[in-house]
Every structure is written in structure tokens, then in C-alpha cells.
Amino acid sequence: MNTDTSTGTPATEAVVQERKNEAFIPLTQTGGAKEYRDEGWSWGAFFLGPFFLFGIRKYSLLSAYLLMLVPFLNIIFMIGMMVYLGASGRTMARESKTFSSHGEYLGFMKGIDHGAKLSLILAAIFLIGVFLFISFVFSAVSRSW
């Protein structure tokens, strides 16, 4: 049974349907862009795990990041936690009580996914820049010999 979170009274089906309608307008109706896919892998939860867990208020899992302080265990734990969050991040966020509407949840997931993709692109650009800088320095040093 659905309840209205502001008053605690049972919500009618019309109210529930209105919330679903206002929460998300398919992108196909906004100029032909692709519809946001709310299933599967979450790049935001994978790359930005601590921020994701803080955003959905899963402090117990966030405190598990203290295991990163244990030598040699930290690499295994980090990879395992990243894969777990990537695979089940959308489900965890959907089931959390953090978001008052489905639209708010979708906005959070879009934001964290776009943030992760942007940080991945910036990290790749940075690494390419570091590689080019190091190769330039080595070529300059080898010419001076």
C-alpha cells in the first residue's frame, strides 16, 4: 500500500500515477534523444563509490572503507567493493529511503553516472598529458647528451 510521506495517509492511485508522470519525461519526447536506462551497471557507483554511498546514506557500507587501511587486503577489497557497487548500485539507490520521488532518484543516478564518466575522461586526458610530458623530457635530455 502506498502512503503519502508528507502526511502519512494512504495515497490514491491517481496521486501515485501523478508522481510517476511528473518524475520523468521520456527523452524520446524531448527531441529524439535516447531514453535514460535505469537498469544494469552503474558507472557512478563503480568509480565514485564513497560519494555514492554517502549520497544514498548507506553509512554502514561507507564505514567498510576503513578496510582500505589494511595493507595487501586493501587492493582486493577495493576491487571487490567497486564491482559490487557497480553491479548493485542502482538497486541499492532505488531501495534506499533517501529519495522522495522516482524523479529525484533518477536525477541522482544521472548525475553520479555523468560525474563518473566525466572524471574518467579527465583522468584519461591527464594521463595522456603526463605521458607526453615525460616523453618530451626524455627526448630533450637524450638530445643534450
Q: Are 105 and 94 in contact (CB under 8 A)?
A: yes
- Provide the whole-model pTM: 0.65
Angstrom distance (rounded) from CA 42 to CA 87: 7
- What is d(CA 81, CA 78) in angstroms, rounded to the nearest whole number? 5
Grid coordinates of 121? 575522461
Cα(119)–Cα(124) distance, integer angstroms: 9
Average pLDDT of each block of 10 consecutive residues along the chain (145 residues)? 54 62 54 63 90 90 83 87 92 88 88 92 96 92 76
Task: Give pLDDT, residue 71.
Answer: 85
Residues 6+ apart with CB under 8 A from 47: 82, 116, 119, 120
The cell numbers describing 46, all together, are 563503480
- Residue 93 three-state SS: helix
Q: Note the pLDDT of residue 119.
A: 93
Q: Give the residue extent of every domain in the chain.
A: 1-35, 39-124
